[in-house]
A and B are shown apart, each in its own frame.
Chain A
Amino acid sequence: MGMTIGIDIGATTVKIVVVKSGDIVYEQYERHLSQVRPKTLELIRKAKDVIGDKPFTVALSGSAGLGVAKAANLPFVQEVFATGEVIKTFEPDTDTVIELGGEDAKIIFFTGGLEERMNGSCAGGTGAFIDQMATLLDVTPEELDTLALASEKVYTIASRCGVFAKSDIQPLLNQGARHEDIAASIFKAVVDQTITGLAQGRRITGKVVFLGGPLYFFKALQREFVRALKLSPGNAVFPDMGRYAVAIGSAIYAEKAAQPMTYAELVDRIEQAVGEAPSAKRLSPLFENADEYAAFLNRHAKASVAHLPLDEYQGDAYLGIDCGSTTTKLVLIGEDGKILYEYYAANKGNPVEVIRSQLAELLPRCEGRIRIRGSAATGYGEDIIRHAFSVDAGLVETMAHFRAARHFNPDVDFILDIGGQDIKCFRVRNDSIDSIMLNEACSSGCGSFISTFAQSMGYNVAEFAKLGLFAQYPVDLGSRCTVFMNSSVKQAQKEGAGVEDISAGISISVVKNAIYKVIRAASADELGKNIVVQGGTFYNDAVLRSFELELHRDVIRPSIAGLMGAYGAALYAKSLGLEQSSLISLEQLKEFVHTSKSAVCGLCGNHCNLTVNSFGGGKKYISGNRCERPLGQEKREELPNMYAYKLEKIRALMDSKPGKRGTIGLPLGLNMLENIPFWHAFFTELGFEVVLSDISTRDTYIKGQFSIPSDTVCYPAKLLHGHIQNLLEKGVTNIFYPCLTYNFDEHKGDNHFNCPVVAYYPELLRANVAELSDARIKFLYPHLGIHLEKTFADKIYGQLWNDFPSLSLREVRRATRVAYEAYNAWMVDNKQKGREAIAWAREHGKKIVVLAGRPYHVDPEINHGIDKLIASFDIVVVSEDCVADLVEPVKVHVLNQWTYHSRLYNAAKYVCSQPDMELVQLVSFGCGIDAITTDEVREILEREGKLYTQLKIDEITNLGAVRIRIRSLLEAVEERRRAHAGV
């Protein structure tokens, strides 16, 4: 056996191994920081002495290795394949391999049919994700690991992708959750993502070998994997050579397949290799030349706010604090609106401390001369800051931004704010907010992506942004989300794109995301003449320029773009007209302490993860709650809430009575949540004991997680896997869950389909939940036409008699009659109750929100308690089906062919005619059909001058973003009312 070399060039690192006569004699592992070829050469050169001048074989692998191999004409082996080779050689009794890299996650099943798989498009960037999260907590990845090992509890963090996870982590940070717990939760999210994204229906069991950099370095990640997979110590293998597995596999492959060469030849080939031709996906430069840039700067310099040195001012002042997702801002203004003091910096995951030190700096300087007569806080951290420092008032950030922009330019038509986490836009017409557009999860974190990315490249944001201004060939990174952008960056780097081109490319992508996905404008004319852009992200000239270029229109960027939230809060504080602010005094500040601990609320089934912050002197702030109960306040009167009502009705069906024909199980998910009265009555009448699966919880999801084949399907569908498991655990042997192409025909549209997922999910369950193929289990999933009352009995009889020969057609006909009656009565009752709720609200002077979603959104694990959250604003919540029948079917511009969706259009139309009603649309992530309905519903509402609010939900449980959206709606409505009343 001769010498053989394996080189693995991944998304972030280069690995090289030299194998002599079957022994690994040399290994090296380094980050390449996108300098792929120089780094590879460097590592080869370092190994020169080991290699000597004897001939050897070599093969390359890894996602970046592909390009190098092609250019240098060297053998290449796909990395997962290489891993497979190495495991077969070194750990032949392995059942499963899990390998996490910088960008990709891979799994190999050996037993039960070899299968090698990589993560889907959404779940990109495992190592990259951990790096980004570390940056967010302002620690190194190694420190993140240390933190996680000291955790006390684990929060539920969305595991769909990095963007979703970040959306969950950000509010936790702002609520003061312990960093140790957050760190552990981050690793747990990676584990969950791997299990759902990769296992796809196959159970990970037996001896599992874990490979790749992250799994080698991060002990906390190892711990979470072992826990989640319930592996015994002997079955969880974390080999020392884990990081080098692909490189070793390449070496094995090289020995079999490659031609020998010498050291000089290898170096020569890589040196000579011309990189891949830059992809055609390059964009035009932002600025042609320095003059153009100078003119641009000149134009924007005009939009500045007057400042007055703090030490020269005497009199009243107002304090505004904007505690944003990634940055904390503070502004003190004088009586005339001039800025006396300003502060803008990253919050480093600890906003309370940032504000404390700022107040400690500011208050002594005010002493004696300046009287703070009002203070207001806004942003994600509004509540904690208010409680910690006794700030007078709080306002939702959208309103703060709106106020500031209006103050800046009273004629403003359109405001765009790109913050760290959120993108917010407002259209202003007739002096009031005409519409609000807030990003949904996929557009989250665009702003902070630029800064985290800059840091990971070793630049600060300002330097990084500057680099992009004169880039000749900005790269096109797409606009879907930052996970996709990140992986596009990796591709661009491999193709030789420079930092300048990437910097410009990221700015352009962030802007495109805002324009295409949030604003959804095809042309600048839709936005109006006076466009104000703000938010810290717009300090970046490259972003500003991209926006103007993309829109073909000049816009206004206030010089205090990043401080606008705080400025708006200060203006608000001023408008309060207080005599004296309740703000913490200098003396109190000196005594100030802040500690936090985590707890789980046990007062109801939601089991909210609470964070209890104490500020000394008995001051406390509890966050993470969905309702008022854990705050120890008096229980308020329960407002009518149709979501709660409908759920209770379903619960009432849970008690089962033994039947002569045995039991039949019905999974409580998707359309079953509405059709339950039908099937319950049908089977009860036939003499079955009907067993329902339990109402979903997070555990329901976890239990079924491993058999989900498609990670991009909606959360409500994913939950069904858990419901099936739940029924099996209850010992049910007959499970009934029919395929329903058509829904009941409510005569509201052109047709009455179910969506493809609702219609056919039973087929998927049968094919993926292994237990359902067990001979002892009867899983009945016939295709039925529930809309055809006349023929229904005959058809279902034809489907059932084979399994239940004792059934007679007469019985089935009778049961059918009972079922339709029960269903109709149920629906009529819902509508009746809905109307009562509306009447009650009017009698008591309460606002009404139509929370419009799908019937399955009553599931508390799907709606995450949003109905309760809305109710906590003293609002009566009704569902879309309660009001959908109160208007003539609405004519829409799209094909109106799904029963559930037709209700949305009708509900929207009805709401338009009711001054005291607002509509909030609930949308599940991955619902392709809602890409169509949301635009239509918005149009219906806005045509009649109503505001549109969309809440996109997934497994994300943190309601921070939801709260902002609801408050924005309520305060905008209030703002409009005031504007119209001329107050």
Chain B
Amino acid sequence: MPESEGRVLFTREMKKDYTILVPTMLPIHFKLMLNILREYGYKCELLENTGKSVVDAGLRNVHNDTCYPALLVIGQMIDALESGKYDLHKVALMISQTGGGCRASNYIHLLRKALHKAGMGYIPVISLSVGNMESNPGFSLTPVMLDKIFYAITYGDLLMLLHNQCRPYEVEPGSSEALVDRWAARLTEEMRGRGLVRYRQVKANYREIIRDFAALPRQGSPKTRVGIVGEIYVKFSPLGNNNLEDFLLSEGAEAVVPGLMDFCLYCVYNLLMDHKLYGLHTKLRHKVFEFIYRFLIKKQWDVIEAVEEEGTFRPGGYFPHTVDLTKGYIGHGVKMGEGWLLTAEMLELIEQGTCNIVCTQPFGCLPNHIVGKGMMRLIKERNPQANIVAVDYDPGATRINQENRIKLMLANAAAIEGAAPEAPWEKKNLPQTPYAPEYGLDESASDYAMSIKW
């Protein structure tokens, strides 16, 4: 096996007949992204195995005090490898790597250790990271691919947003999910070929997607909205959070889940903060990051605008504004794990009127001590309507305990709400957005642009 510093490489030859296995986190987004990879000649498969055997494989192969997402992701992969479905000499694994001071940046290393221990050390592991933390001769993300993956995220976020706002009210059960699937197929089809995505087409798609969802027959009175924030994996992955969204739905609530784009923006924003706080990166690189940041928030704004224009649905938050909300709560130097973004998302949800929040975290999650549980007192003090419950996820935690706590939060929600909010699907005039769609760095708003004071 070709190796680099003891690491098994994914070679050009492997690209031809190896199947790359990818663990699931966000079902909609990941489906779109994998389709893009396939277009570039990678054989890949999204792992959908769940259940006890996944957890058991994790417990067997990962230190049990490691965070739950590592245990699940690695467990899911090992379980798949042991299932007999794959030719072990024709598979590779892919795992995302964000880097940073959280122990999550060690997942890829723990995966390799686990493979080694399980006698499968020859299986190459590909790190999926924008910064190219590890390189493999057989795998690279070209700028065009990144461009497409980027749109897979914006599409994914939009579909997730609309799906969440329709599902609790659909007349025909499963109709909004079917619509998501139909669009996922269509978008994949459109992104075929190797050319850049045409943005005009993307914007037209946004509008058509929104119209399609708006046309979906829905009924019933408005339900209690519950925001979900937390460590990225347990926040998004049904495997990680015991199907939290389904549970909330069954309790008569509507789930509100801030999208993945915010996390991407958070990562870029941190690069800007690194420059400001520690003088990291050259001036030129910093300029590039600034350009990327502006580019991304502009794209986010376009989605928000499309949603507002149509008028049926509540758009997601606008990142520079979300950043601004944290003022007086948490410093933007807090960049490990979900960092200050987690606090920001709670504040964003509260501002949008979603005062009921489930803050999900793996048991013993280090950054969440600070940015999740650590900020709740202050948030509640300044926003008395906030109704937040922290839920720990762990292989040993009982579902009934988790659900009982969420039920308490829901009971409080019902008491707090009193007056029912307007039906979300009724056409109404949204209040003029309080923040301008300037796609530059909002100098007055973001901490980044503030003078060096705290």
Asked whether A969 is an interface residue with its Cβ less than 8 Å from the other chain, the reply is: no
Q: Which residue of B lies closest to A526 (CB)?
A: B117
Q: Which residue of B lies closest to A931 (CB)?
A: B65
Asked whether B160 is an interface residue with its Cβ less than 8 Å from the other chain, the reply is: no
Q: Which of B96-118 contact A (CB under 8 A)?
A: 100-103, 105-106, 109-110, 112-114, 117-118
- Closest chain-B Cβ to A758's Cβ sits at a distance in Å of 10
Are the C-beta atoms of A121 and B363 separated by less than 8 Å? yes
Residues of B within 8 Å of A334, CB to CB, are none
Q: How far is the CA of A116 from the CA of B61 in the complex (A)?
A: 39
Residues of A within 8 Å of B411, CB to CB, are 77-78, 80-81
Known: A78-B407, A763-B370, A799-B454. A932 touches B395 (CB 8 A): no
Binds A, one of B181-189, B215-223, B291-299, B328-336: B328-336
Q: How far is the CA of A799 from the CA of B450 in the complex (A)?
A: 12
Residues of B within 8 Å of A153, CB to CB, are none
Task: Provide the B75-110 mask, 1 if CB < 8 A to any CB of A, else 0.
Answer: 000000000000000000000000011110110011
Q: How far is the CA of A29 from the CA of B367 in the complex (A)?
A: 43
Asked whether A355 is an interface residue with its Cβ less than 8 Å from the other chain, the reply is: no
Are the C-beta atoms of A783 and B51 separated by less than 8 Å? no
Are the C-beta atoms of B381 and A713 separated by less than 8 Å? no
Asked whether A788 is an interface residue with its Cβ less than 8 Å from the other chain, the reply is: yes
Are the C-beta atoms of A479 and B396 separated by less than 8 Å? yes
Asked whether A295 is an interface residue with its Cβ less than 8 Å from the other chain, the reply is: no
Known: A113-B384, A512-B59. A799 touches B452 (CB 8 A): yes
Residues of A within 8 Å of B370, CB to CB, are 756-757, 760-761, 763-764
Are the C-beta atoms of B377 and A202 separated by less than 8 Å? yes
Residues of A within 8 Å of B365, CB to CB, are 928
Partner pick for A928 among B66, B114, B277, CB 8 A cutoff: B66
Asked whether B401 is an interface residue with its Cβ less than 8 Å from the other chain, the reply is: yes
Asked whether A200 is an interface residue with its Cβ less than 8 Å from the other chain, the reply is: yes
Are the C-beta atoms of B113 and A764 separated by less than 8 Å? no
Task: Provide the A515-531 mask, 1 if CB < 8 A to any CB of B, else 0.
Answer: 11100101100000000
Are the C-beta atoms of A757 and B396 separated by less than 8 Å? no
Are the C-beta atoms of A742 and B105 separated by less than 8 Å? no
- Closest chain-A Cβ to B226's Cβ sits at a distance in Å of 15
Q: How far is the CA of A754 from the CA of B101 in the complex (A)?
A: 7
Q: Which residue of B lies closest to A755 (CB)?
A: B366
Asked whether A480 is an interface residue with its Cβ less than 8 Å from the other chain, the reply is: yes
Are the C-beta atoms of B279 and A785 separated by less than 8 Å? yes
Asked whether B408 is an interface residue with its Cβ less than 8 Å from the other chain, the reply is: yes
Asked whether B156 is an interface residue with its Cβ less than 8 Å from the other chain, the reply is: no
Q: Which residue of B lies closest to A477 (CB)?
A: B396
Task: Provide the A749-793 mask, 1 if CB < 8 A to any CB of B, else 0.
Answer: 001011111011101100110000000000001111100100100
Partner pick for B452 among A517, A753, A768, A798, CB 8 A cutoff: A798
Asked whether B394 is an interface residue with its Cβ less than 8 Å from the other chain, the reply is: yes
Q: Which residue of B lies closest to A282 (CB)?
A: B52
Partner pick for B369 among A488, A522, A713, A751, CB 8 A cutoff: A713
Partner pick for B395 among A478, A755, A926, CB 8 A cutoff: A478
Are the C-beta atoms of B454 and A782 separated by less than 8 Å? yes
Are the C-beta atoms of B384 and A741 separated by less than 8 Å? no
Q: How far is the CA of A517 from the CA of B329 in the complex (A)?
A: 38
Are the C-beta atoms of B333 and A783 separated by less than 8 Å? yes
Q: Which residue of B lies closest to A515 (CB)?
A: B60
Are the C-beta atoms of B396 and A481 separated by less than 8 Å? yes
Interface residues on A, range: 35 or more
Asked whether A709 is an interface residue with its Cβ less than 8 Å from the other chain, the reply is: yes
Are the C-beta atoms of A894 and B101 separated by less than 8 Å? no
Asked whether B337 is an interface residue with its Cβ less than 8 Å from the other chain, the reply is: yes
Residues of B within 8 Å of A121, CB to CB, are 363, 392, 394, 397, 401
Residues of A within 8 Å of B101, CB to CB, are 741, 751, 753-756, 759, 897-898
Q: Which residue of A lies closest to B415 (CB)?
A: A81
Are the C-beta atoms of A767 and B374 separated by less than 8 Å? yes
Q: How far is the CA of A893 from the CA of B110 in the complex (A)?
A: 8
Residues of A within 8 Å of B454, CB to CB, are 781-783, 799
Task: Provide the B271-286 mask, 1 if CB < 8 A to any CB of A, else 0.
Answer: 0000001110000000
Are the C-beta atoms of B63 and A932 separated by less than 8 Å? yes
Asked whether A305 is an interface residue with its Cβ less than 8 Å from the other chain, the reply is: no
Are the C-beta atoms of B106 and A932 separated by less than 8 Å? yes
Most B-side CB within 10 Å, residue of A479, A710, A934: A710
Asked whether A352 is an interface residue with its Cβ less than 8 Å from the other chain, the reply is: no
Residues of A within 8 Å of B65, CB to CB, are 928, 930-931
Partner pick for A480 among B119, B330, B394, CB 8 A cutoff: B394
Q: Which residue of B lies closest to A761 (CB)?
A: B370
Are the C-beta atoms of A491 and B381 separated by less than 8 Å? no
Asked whether B132 is an interface residue with its Cβ less than 8 Å from the other chain, the reply is: no
Partner pick for A479 among B106, B369, B395, B407, CB 8 A cutoff: B395
Q: Which residue of B lies closest to A739 (CB)?
A: B333
- Closest chain-B Cβ to A330's Cβ sits at a distance in Å of 36
Are the C-beta atoms of A768 and B278 separated by less than 8 Å? no
Residues of B within 8 Å of A113, CB to CB, are 380-381, 384
Are the C-beta atoms of B278 and A767 separated by less than 8 Å? no
Are the C-beta atoms of B398 and A520 separated by less than 8 Å? no
7 sampled A-B residue pairs with Cβ under 8 A: A66-B403, A113-B380, A124-B401, A484-B398, A755-B103, A767-B330, A798-B453
Contacts beyond the supplied A478-B396, A484-B396, A756-B336: 16 A-B pairs with Cβ under 8 Å: A63-B400, A80-B411, A81-B415, A121-B401, A280-B51, A479-B396, A522-B60, A709-B373, A709-B376, A755-B366, A756-B337, A767-B375, A799-B452, A893-B113, A895-B109, A928-B103
